Structure formats: structure tokens, C-alpha cells
């Protein structure tokens, strides 16, 4: 979906085009941050199929096998210096007159935005669940290091009050995030993702912030070791900083929550972005 020339937060404003030619689509577009493109057998491209339709009905999602002529994986984009390989990567890709059968379209023509929205609500809670798992492992590493690292003979790192406070803060924030996520999951199960939209926005920015703070504390407690790849902390810190950006930046989700709250006070605030 994401294009270098367009704001990634606006899925109704795409340059990529899929032009109908008989029983085929001919796709031309430039995408980046295409997750897991490295090694993939196919891509799912969101491209405009009817530029004259209403904004939310212009694009469709189409499967493109990666051996299709005209498809190019340009590069794995370096994320804070790490390009990576395989599944946990984000690629720049080009579609240059890629021809695929019309039956490779997912759903009805023009349903691309609706399909994307169906995925985003549950997708955000899945991210939060994964982030909590990372937080738990980071805290475990922190506690193990604090309980065994000697600053001087017989003096453990964990005996220092500042380290104890970091551990306590991380524990409290992880528990709070987990309870928010569980409550949002309950709402989705009972009422559906659309009805739980405000709660989904709340856990998205809150859990992403907890993740960043927990990782930062973990690195601080590990000292120089935390800056290396001898633990997974630096890897997570590099790649998960994006948690506050992808699937809606923090500022967008905070505005969603605030507008919902203000409507309860009778305020009619416009949706003019963050």
C-alpha cells in the first residue's frame, strides 16, 4: 500500500494504477516498506482501478506473483542501518507494466480500501500482543542481568535503587498495556472491530509507547552490552521504533481518541488530521 511519493497514512491517495486490458490488469506503481517481500512468492498490491470513483472506492487489491515480468524488488530498505533478510524486512518494489489476470483481484473491484480497513483493526491488536511479548522478554533479560551482574565484588546491579525503579516501572506499564489489550479484545469479540475503534486506537499508541520505554530501560540496564547484537535488545529497538508510526502514527490515534471523548461533551470537532 505505502508509496514513497504519497503519505502512508492516506490509503485513498495512491499513485499506483491497475488498468484493465481485456481479461488482464496492467499494473504500474512504486511501493516501499513492503513487508516480507524478500523471499515472497507473491505480492498483494493496492492500486487504483477506477480513478473516477469516490475516493474510498477507487482502489483494488490484486495478487501479483513475484516472477511476473515487470515486478522488481529494488532493495531491502535499511531500518536504522539494518536491511535484514527474509520475513522481517521492508522492501522497495516496482511494478512496471505487470500483467496479471483479472481473477487475481481480491474481492470486488474498488473494494481495496474496505479490505484494508477490515485488516487494520484486528491487525493493530495483533501488533500490540506481539509488542507485549517483546516487552516481557526484554524485562526478563533486564531482571536476569540485574540479578547477576556485579558492579564490584559482591555488589549486584539490581541492588541499585535506580535499576529497581526501572524494573518496577516496566512491570507496571506492561501489566497496564496487557489489561487494555485484553479489554479491547473482549470488545472486538462482543461488538466487532468497528465498534471498538476508539479502544483499538488507545492500545495502539499506548502499547507502542510502553514498548519503546521498556526497551530503552532494558538497554540502559545492560549498559554497553545493550547496544550490541549480543542480546536482541538493540535489534528490537531499531525495528520496533516504527511501532509509533506504522498502522497509524501515534498522533493520528490520539486525535481519534480525543475527538471521541470531546463528542461526549457536545463538541463537534473536525477530522483535520494531527
Show the domains of the chain with their CATH numbers.
17-110 (2.40.110.10), 113-263 (1.20.140.10)
In angstroms, the Cα distances linking 52 to 3, 59, 90, 246 are 20, 11, 31, 28
- Give the residue carrying C-alpha cell 521504533: 241
pLDDT in tens, 64-114: 999 999 999 999 999 999 898 998 899 999 999 999 999 999 999 999 999
The residue assigned the cell 535503587 is: 161
The residues near 213 (Cβ < 8 Å, ≥ 6 apart) are 169, 170, 173
Residue written as cell 475503534?
197
Tell me the pLDDT tens digit for each residue of 23-60. Answer: 999 999 999 999 999 999 999 999 999 999 999 999 99
Query: How are beta strands 17-21 and 150-152 bridged, if at all?
Result: unpaired
C-alpha–C-alpha distance, residues 226 and 235, integer Å: 10
Question: pLDDT grade, residue 274 (50/70/90)?
Answer: very low
Amino acid at each position: 500500500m505505502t508509496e514513497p511519493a504519497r503519505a502512508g497514512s492516506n490509503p485513498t491517495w495512491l499513485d499506483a494504477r491497475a488498468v484493465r486490458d481485456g481479461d488482464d490488469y496492467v499494473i504500474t506503481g512504486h511501493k516501499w516498506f513492503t513487508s516480507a517481500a524478500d523471499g515472497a512468492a507473491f505480492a498483494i498490491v493496492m492500486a487504483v482501478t477506477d480513478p473516477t470513483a469516490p475516493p474510498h472506492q477507487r482502489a483494488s487489491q490484486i495478487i501479483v506473483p513475484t516472477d511476473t515480468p515487470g515486478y522488481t524488488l529494488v532493495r531491502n530498505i535499511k531500518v536504522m542501518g539494518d536491511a535484514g533478510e527474509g520475513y522481517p524486512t521492508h522492501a522497495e518494489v516496482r511494478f512496471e507494466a505487470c500483467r496479471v489476470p483479472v481473477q487475481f483481484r481480491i474481492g470486488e473491484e474498488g473494494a481495496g480500501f474496505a479490505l484494508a480497513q477490515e485488516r487494520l483493526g484486528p491487525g493493530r491488536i495483533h501488533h500490540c500482543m506481539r509488542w507485549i511479548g517483546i516487552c516481557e522478554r526484554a524485562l526478563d533479560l533486564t531482571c536476569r542481568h540485574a540479578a547477576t551482574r556485579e558492579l564490584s565484588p559482591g555488589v549486584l546491579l539490581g541492588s541499585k535503587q535506580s535499576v529497581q525503579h526501572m524494573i518496577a516501572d516496566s512491570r507496571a506499564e506492561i501489566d497496564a498495556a496487557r489489561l487494555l489489550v485484553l479489554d479491547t479484545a473482549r470488545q472486538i469479540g462482543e461488538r466487532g472491530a468497528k465498534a471498538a475503534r476508539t479502544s483499538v486506537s488507545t492500545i495502539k499508541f499506548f502499547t507502542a509507547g510502553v514498548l519503546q520505554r521498556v526497551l530503552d530501560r532494558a538497554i540502559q540496564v545492560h549498559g554497553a552490552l545493550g547496544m550490541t547484537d549480543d542480546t536482541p535488545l538493540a535489534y528490537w529497538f531499531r525495528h520496533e521504533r516504527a511501532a509509533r508510526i506504522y498502522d497509524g502514527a501515534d498522533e493520528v490515534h490520539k486525535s481519534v481518541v480525543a475527538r471521541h471523548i470531546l463528542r461526549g461533551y457536545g463538541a463537534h470537532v473536525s477530522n483535520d488530521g494531527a
